[in-house]
A and B are shown apart, each in its own frame.
Chain A
Amino acid sequence: MATKSKAKKKSPVKTVRRDRAPARVKSAVQRPNGRDTQHAVEQFLYRQAEILDGKRWQDYIDLFAEDGVYWMPPDPSHTTWDGMPAIFAEDRNLMTVRMKRVLHPDAWSQRPLWGTNHVVGNVVIEKESPNGDVVARSRFHMLELRRDDIRHFAGRYVHHLRKTRDGFRIKLQRVDMTNAQAAYDYVLQVWV
């Protein structure tokens, strides 16, 4: 885990890995903790996916910082959710509305058999700040079953993670779906 003394170093030691392409070395420069951070972030992302597939909505919301935002732009060119059309742009309050809706016994569209399966991979640490905050990108693939219908959603996550005493909390999760611009056969009921 990150320690203050390590993080303060001006030019951190490069972690050299045999399997890394030269282009990656640059990002390693920004990563004081290398392998530790990589591991911690991967574990965080895998757990988040597990929580989502497990329909543990409150636990999912609690992964977000108090000021955290879940954002899915309709177009990859968007650089902010603020004042822009968005498929999702939800703070914890709106996420709570969504949770309460799906838990309500009269959420008709929630009644049928419904489940998801997320696979997350290609985790790359983009940036690690001296205070331990991390920006990480990854890829996901999700299969959803509703009644007899299967849908696939895939794309890229960018997590802006804040380091806290209880582990990472999400400041911003950006979700760029490859199929964001495709017509939606039915809707997205919860976060992807």
Chain B
Amino acid sequence: MLQENVADLSKYVEPDRVRREVYTDAQIYELEMQRIHEKVWIYCGHESQVPQPGDYYTVQIGRQPMVMVRGKDRKVHVLYNRCPHRGNMICGDRHGSAGEFFRCSYHAWTFHHDGKLRSIPMMDSGYQGTRWGRDNPDCNMKPAARVAAYRGFVFASLVADGPDLVEFLGRSKIAFDDICDRSPEGEVEVVPNCFRVVQRSNWKIFLENQLDALHPSVTHQSTGRAAREVEIEIEKRTGHAPLSYHMLSAFATVTIDKWDAFQTLNYPYGHCILTGYMGLRPKDPDTLEYERVLAKAYGEKRKEEILSTNIHHVLIYPGLSVQSPLQQLRAVRPLGVDKTLTEIWHFRLKGAPEPIYRRALAYYNLVNSPSTMINADDLENFWKCHSGLASNGGDWVSFHRHYGRDLEKGGVVETGPNMGTSEAPMRNQMKAWAQYMTAEK
């Protein structure tokens, strides 16, 4: 067995530091897939990606190729993308429509959208007297053990036991509440485009970076400065620069000490929130119009609550990074110990004025598209981190920043006042990692 070859994993993680093999060892990676990704709730997609019966999207959960499909009963199912006959993948495209039913391209077995066997060519003559046939559940496409949705965001877990989705999400479900509540109808729909970018680094390096409030002013200085220069120049010329310049220039104008004013909140199961508002509530006519629409839908008091939700990023461990005020998210799909795919989606607030969609879209295009001037430098760092960790130049990764100064209240670890750049989120993620990895006998 694999686990016998790996030393006691509890020795790899200490509260303030982690051994480098956690990021680079291929056997540990396999165990992570078994013990974390193929067990916990993993984000599959949004219900609006599969509006019609038969619509499907393929999705990787751990090492398992899965398919999310809308059934005739309107339910969203998540199935292993595998034919029970000889193992052929049923859906070869990334997404599409299966039509009335799935049909295997190899020997034409067909399946209902919930995975149940529909027909086998010459079933009677071919299978009479064998143990293979309609009554045998092994002849169905296997479903994920558990599927659940929270406000339209679909998750699946490949094991039957464990916390249910809402319990698992805990306070991190605010990511989806914040996205949806910003719509006057309380709902979003997906913008039909997925940007997919591969990182040559371990999946955890990306997650740790998402709430690393120290890095932006260093890593993204070049883009922040460049955007600021052009922003000033446009302001001089026209009196007003579009908000998208501010979204970029903030990476330079918010200096390290200012990032410390932000706060991180760290929850069970490794989830974390980074607070900090990127100035998305200006007083221009578009925003005021949007506020009027929201007030009409929710009332003045609730509108204020919704718009003052103070979130920059929500990280739902181990596979999702959500920027709820901008209605976008990045799903993390590990492809190997040193290779990670991010799938990046944007959502439209139903019923909100068009300019509000466009404002968030500008961020999606500028920061999250494959031409990103921001993530370009992140990915460079991730690759360098992974390469450095693969060396014998040191055994430990340090998470000491503001260690020992966190405040714990009822299972929630908050960074202390003016310690927003604390490495508490990394410590929290690795704590969850160690719990998952050592829970097994």
Query: Are A97 and B248 in touch, CB under 8 angstroms?
Result: yes
Q: Would you list which residues of chain A between 71 and 109 have a CB under 8 Å from chain B?
A: 72, 74-75, 83-89, 93-94, 96-102, 104-109
Q: Which of B40-48, B181-189, B217-225 contacts A (4 or more CB under 8 A)?
A: B217-225
CA distance A85 to B365 in the complex (A): 6
Q: How large is the interface on B (under 10, 10 to 19, 20 to 34, 35 or more residues)?
A: 35 or more
Given contacts A75-B193, A108-B377, A184-B370, contact A96 B230 (CB under 8 A): yes
Q: Is the CB of A100 within 8 A of B229?
A: yes
Binary CB contact string for chain B from 371 to 382 against chain A (1 if under 8 A, 0 otherwise): 111011101110
Which residue of the partner chain, among A84, A99, A109, A188, contacts B371 with CB atoms under 8 Å?
A: A188
B214 in the interface, Cβ–Cβ < 8 Å? no
Known: A97-B248, A101-B226. A187 touches B364 (CB 8 A): no
Q: How far is the CB of B131 from chain A (nearest CB, A)?
A: 41
Q: Which of A74, A85, A97, A189 contacts B227 (CB 8 A)?
A: A97
B286 at the interface (CB under 8 A from A): no
Q: How far is the CA of A100 from the CA of B248 in the complex (A)?
A: 13
B300 in the interface (beta carbon within 8 A): no
Q: Contacts A85-B346, A93-B230 given; indicate if A108 touches B380 (C-beta within 8 A).
A: yes
B234 at the interface (CB under 8 A from A): yes
* A77 to B371 alpha-carbon distance, docked (Å): 20
Q: Which residues of B contact A97 (CB under 8 A)?
A: 223, 226-227, 230, 245, 248, 373
- Which residue of B219, B229, B371, B376 is within 8 Å of A88 (Cβ)? B371
CB–CB B361/A93 < 8 A: no
Contacts of A75 in B (CB 8 A): 193
Residues of A within 8 Å of B380, CB to CB, are 108-109
CA–CA, A130 and B344, complex, Å: 44
A87 and B377 contact, CB distance less than 8 A: no
For B195, give the chain A residue with the smallest CB separation.
A74
Contacts of A183 in B (CB 8 A): 196-198, 341
CA distance A150 to B191 in the complex (A): 32
Residues of A near B225 (CB, < 8 A) are: 100, 104
State whether the Cβ of A185 lies closer than 8 Å to any Cβ in chain B: yes
Enumerate chain A residues within 8 angstroms of B257, measured Cβ to Cβ.
none
**In the bound complex, what is the Cα–Cα distance between A107 and B369 (angstroms)?**
18
* Residues of the B chain whose Cβ atoms lie less than 8 Å from the Cβ of A83: 354, 357-358, 361
Chain A residues, Cβ within 8 Å of B369: 74, 85-88
- A106, B198: Cβ atoms under 8 Å? no
- A83→B191 CA distance, assembly (Å): 11
- Interfacial chain A residues near B372, Cβ < 8 Å: 187
Partner of A101, one of B223, B341, B361, B365: B223
Q: Which of A74, A107, A187 is within 8 Å of B375, CB to CB? A: A187
| Residues 5-62 of A contacting B (Cβ, < 8 Å) | none
Which among A106, A107, A187 is the interface contact of B370 at CB below 8 angstroms? Answer: A187
Question: Chain B residues with Cβ under 8 A from A101's Cβ?
Answer: 222-223, 226, 373
A74 and B193 form a contact (CB under 8 A)? yes
Beta-carbon nearest neighbor of A146 in chain B: B380
Contact A85 B193 (CB under 8 A): yes
Cβ of B375: which chain A residues have Cβ within 8 Å of it?
187
Q: Give the residue among A72, A89, A93, A101 with the most B Cβ atoms within 10 A.
A: A101
Residues in B with CB closer than 8 Å to A107 are 222-223, 377
Q: Quick one: closest B residue to A72, CB to CB?
A: B371
Q: Which residue of the partner chain B has the closest CB to A81?
A: B365
| Residues of B close to A88: CB separation below 8 A | 369, 371
Cα(A51)–Cα(B15), bound, Å: 53
Give 11 A-B contacts (CB < 8 Å), ordered by A residue: A74-B193, A86-B365, A93-B234, A97-B226, A97-B373, A102-B222, A104-B223, A107-B222, A108-B219, A184-B197, A185-B200
Query: Which residues of A pack against B, CB within 8 Å?
Result: 72, 74-75, 83-89, 93-94, 96-102, 104-110, 182-189
The residues of B with any CB-CB pair to A shorter than 8 Å are: 191, 193, 195-198, 200, 219, 221-223, 225-227, 229-230, 234, 245, 248, 341, 346, 354, 357-358, 361, 364-366, 369-373, 375-377, 379-381
14 additional A-B pairs beyond A85-B369, A93-B234, beta carbons within 8 Å, are: A74-B369, A84-B361, A85-B193, A85-B346, A85-B365, A86-B365, A93-B230, A96-B226, A101-B226, A104-B223, A107-B377, A108-B377, A182-B196, A184-B196
